[in-house]
Amino acid sequence: METWKLALHFTRQEWSNLWPWFFRRLPVIATAQETGIHRQRILPALTHVGGSFQKDIADIFSGPVEVDETYIGAQWNHKRHRAKAAGSKRGRGSCKSPVFGILGRGGKVWAQVVSDVEARTLLPLISRRVELGSPIYSGNWKS
């Protein structure tokens, strides 16, 4: 789909409201209820964004690759100090969504929202996406 054919017309605030619900993989109707944006505006936008994330993704990464995780979620800007103190902690154990990614040669990236960042969850993803014998670089795991 070409961008000029899509009449997405979201304000910056609407996009920032949509992202957390998009990464939680909620149905469009639930996202519409949470954001107050009509579902007929949300569906084409999220379909386009999801398709953009999947373009030109290598089936199998070969050669040196990097693996890492990050956490995506709401920011603490404009929150009361009491809410910050009682709120979630950073990194592991937070209420943010963990995302695991693989970076290959030429800037090819594959990422997926995962339930947790434990080795038992991530190793099958790595073995499916990385060619056997390829060097894997990670800042968190020992060789």
pLDDT tens per residue, range 68-115: 988 876 565 555 555 555 555 555 555 678 889 998 877 788 888 888
pTM above 0.75, yes or no: no
How many Cα atoms occupy the beta-carbon half-sphere of 47 within 13 Å?
13
How many Cα atoms occupy the beta-carbon half-sphere of 138 within 13 Å?
18
Question: Which residue is it, tokens 């990194």?
Answer: 91
pLDDT tens per residue, range 28-42: 888 888 888 888 888
